[in-house]
């Protein structure tokens, strides 16, 4: 890897001060499982001057219960989320999502904060500089997105205008269904960001001087059924082709509450309110569920090679709402 300066932060305060000092030319490193790949491939035109290790910040790796919710430190590893009794009890959906991420060695080191802030996997964006140079694209400040007329089998189905990359985070999909919020700390600010407002077409709303320190999840209704389904070519390693998170509340067979979120179809997790509304007050027959799936994907506009994702997304919505195991 090309050299960089390196420093370890002992506190959040120190980390954000360092970020401020480097004026956007430093990157935070937690698990490193995403960042190091970006650096090794020289994916971006700008190479960071410094890497700030935040694993050394104490107290950011705990999962705690408070009266109305669960608070997760941003440095909590995915394996700690998977094995947490609190997560299992209140938000099994998040566990289901976390366990689909990569494979054990990655989950042992990757953090929830890192999973939420990881860069997109778009293969144009990620193309290694070594093989003829990086590929210019809209996300890197270029004029166009080469995926639109290229190999777009893994790209966005909806909501994209200039960059068709999708949000790769599995936990973000689960957290959107759970209505989580993030705490973002900057040198002179602390913000609470709802997850559904976090992702932007080219990344996220964090300023270069901010970091996520915690994730807060309001306790969901204990009677609601939670589900996370992820479609990939292979069970381990792969990023989602499509994923769906759902929280369905039934009262005597009638749907009284529904939250359905689609993953890997857009730059952000997509909550499909129309489908949710449609389900409420209804008995979840095959026909109703199928109709809800149609509503969920009504806004999809497939590219040349990703229409199959639309079909899979509909199927996953149906299966998640029904509570199927795969």
Token couple for 183: 């705490």
7 lines the binding site for other proteins (CB under 8 A): yes
Q: How far apart are CA 128 and CA 19, in angstroms?
A: 26
Draw the binding track, 100-119, toward other proteins (x: CB under 8 A; -: no contact): --xxxxx-xx----------
Strand order through the sheet with 270-271: 225-231, 242-251, 254-263, 270-271
Cβ 165 to other proteins, closest distance in Å? 13
- State which of positions 36-65 bind other proteins (CB under 8 A): 36-37, 39-41, 47, 49-51, 53, 55
Q: How many residues lie near other proteins (CB under 8 A)?
A: 69
CA 29 from chain centre, in angstroms, equals: 17
Please identify which residue in 244, 258, 312, 317 interacts with other proteins, judged by CB under 8 A.
312
Whether 278 and 243 have beta carbons less than 8 Å apart is answered as no
Please identify which residue in 89, 161, 235, 280 interacts with other proteins, judged by CB under 8 A.
235
* Residues whose CB falls within 8 Å of the CB of residue 31, separated by 6 or more in sequence, listed in order: 55, 77, 106, 109, 110, 111, 114
Cβ proximity to other proteins, 55 vs 191, nearer residue: 55
* Residues whose CB falls within 8 Å of the CB of residue 222, separated by 6 or more in sequence, listed in order: none
**Strand stretches in 34-139, DSSP E:** 50-53, 63-65, 69-73
Cβ 303 to other proteins, closest distance in Å? 9
Residues that bind other proteins (CB under 8 A): 1-8, 18, 22, 29, 31-33, 36-37, 39-41, 47, 49-51, 53, 55, 79, 102-106, 108-109, 121, 123-124, 126-128, 130-133, 135, 146, 149-151, 153, 231, 233-239, 241, 302, 304-308, 310-312, 315-316
């Amino acid at each position: 890897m090309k050299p960089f300066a390196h420093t370890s932060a002992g506190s959040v305060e120190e980390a954000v001060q360092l970020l401020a000092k480097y004026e956007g030319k430093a990157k935070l490193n937690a698990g490193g499982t995403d960042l190091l790949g970006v650096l090794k491939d020289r994916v971006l035109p700008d190479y960071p001057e410094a890497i700030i290790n935040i694993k050394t910040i104490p107290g950011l790796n705990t999962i705690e219960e408070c009266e109305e919710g669960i608070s997760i430190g941003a440095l909590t590893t995915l394996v700690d989320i998977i094995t947490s009794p609190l997560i299992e009890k209140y938000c099994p959906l998040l566990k289901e999502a976390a366990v689909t991420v990569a494979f054990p060695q990655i989950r042992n080191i990757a953090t929830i904060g890192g999973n939420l802030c990881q860069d997109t996997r778009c293969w144009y964006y990620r193309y290694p500089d070594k093989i003829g140079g990086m590929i210019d694209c809209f996300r890197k400040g270029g004029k166009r997105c080469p995926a639109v007329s290229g190999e777009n089998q893994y790209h966005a189905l909806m909501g994209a205008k200039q960059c068709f990359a999708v949000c790769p985070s599995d936990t973000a999909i689960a957290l959107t269904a759970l209505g989580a919020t993030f705490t973002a700390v900057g040198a002179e600010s602390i913000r609470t960001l709802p997850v559904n407002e976090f992702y932007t077409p080219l990344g996220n709303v964090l300023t270069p001087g901010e970091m996520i320190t915690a994730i807060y999840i309001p306790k969901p209704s204990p009677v609601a059924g939670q589900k996370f389904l992820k479609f990939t070519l292979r069970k381990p390693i792969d990023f989602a082709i499509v994923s769906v998170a759902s929280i369905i509340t039934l009262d005597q067979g009638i749907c009284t509450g529904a939250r359905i979120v689609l993953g890997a179809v857009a730059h952000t997790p997509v909550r499909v309110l129309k489908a949710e509304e449609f389900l409420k007050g209804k008995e979840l027959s095959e026909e109703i569920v199928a109709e809800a799936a149609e509503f969920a994907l009504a806004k999809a506009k497939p590219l040349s090679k990703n229409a199959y994702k639309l079909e899979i997304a509909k199927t996953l919505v149906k299966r998640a709402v029904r509570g199927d195991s795969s």
